[in-house]
Structure 1
């Protein structure tokens, strides 16, 4: 029986993590079993333990990957003078609201992450603080370290607005929540730092 090399194993793990990202954001942490996660990656349950010690291990790796993708997006916007505004408007758009599977992991999973294992919470915490630092760099390119608290405030408004907009079934009220979220970020940024 031929053994696959490290490169193949790494690519398979990457495929599992990427497909798990979509599945977890769509069905939630509890609504996505190992069987479904592996089937999405085109693999059997038997292959799971060659890559992950447990489902929590896979979820932690997936959360890390999803937040890293968000960081990469923010870093791409760093050279754009309107990068922060573009990010906020894209995040609080009807398109993002309607695409939980392809969108932000915080908007789809935050409530479940808060009730999950220490390993998942640790992976999320490390990732979201990195996102906050990258967002702070967009908000205040000259002094990003001083902006982490404000960036976390912006993230709270972004995620809360997105989750509320997704929960409201009236399209006009939902859109109003998105618009109010963007307005609230403007108010937060206009306030003197305290």
Structure 2
């Protein structure tokens, strides 16, 4: 399942073929049906695993900066390493479009992960006013920045994008809510 999870994060849900996955896992194509009802079943399970694995990484990232856990999360998420290793990165980035077009199981798994991340980000803020909206803004900016940084061809531009979004998110988070009104 870990192999399929990495493939889904790297290639999305439409590309990995059963034969390729089984070959990489050292299993026969026929053995596939002992474990999964269909390719869709495999993709759904792999997607759920890929999404859920992100929670522990996000929680660890908040401990990278004891003085400002939100900044630690931002720095870890917008790191070049995260951009450059989609196979172990956040599945929200890779699976967003597929979840939008996907079946109910994928949509539910995606939404559950979004809600989990929002709860985690909301919990990092001592001020309860507007924290849910701020968490939504933060998560959207994080996911969007990694998505765009992976899609552009110019690495310098990609690096600039990650750095600029990180700086702006940290600046926004350090302002008092009254200053934002």
Pairwise TM-score range, normalised by the shorter structure: 0.7 to 0.9
Matches within 5 A, 1:167-178: 167-178=151-162
Q: Is the 8 A contact 1:26 1:101 kept in 2?
A: yes
Distance 1:61 1:112 in 2: 14
The one of 96, 111, 126 aligned to 1:110 = 96
Match of 1:40 in 2: 24
Q: What is the TM-score with the length of structure 1 in the denominator?
A: 0.78
CA contact (8 A) 2:9 2:91 kept: yes
Give the C-alpha shift of residue 105 in structure 1.
0.8
State the TM-score, normalized to the length of structure 2.
0.82
1:130-182 CA distance string (max 9 Å, x none): 12212222x22675x97333222211101111111111111211111111221
Let me know the Cα RMSD of the aligned residues.
2.5
- For 2:141 and 2:85, how far apart are their aligned partners in 1? 18
TM-aligned CA deviation for residue 92 of structure 1: 0.9
Tell me, in whole angstroms, the C-alpha distance in 2 between the residues paired with 1:146 and 1:57. 39
Quick one: which of 24, 45, 52 aligns to 1:61?
45
Counterpart CA distance in 2 for 1:104 and 1:67 is 7
**2:49 aligned with 1:88:** no
Question: What is the aligned partner in structure 2 of residue 13 from structure 1?
Answer: none
Aligned pairs, how many?
176
Native 8 Å contact 1:154 1:185 kept in 2: yes
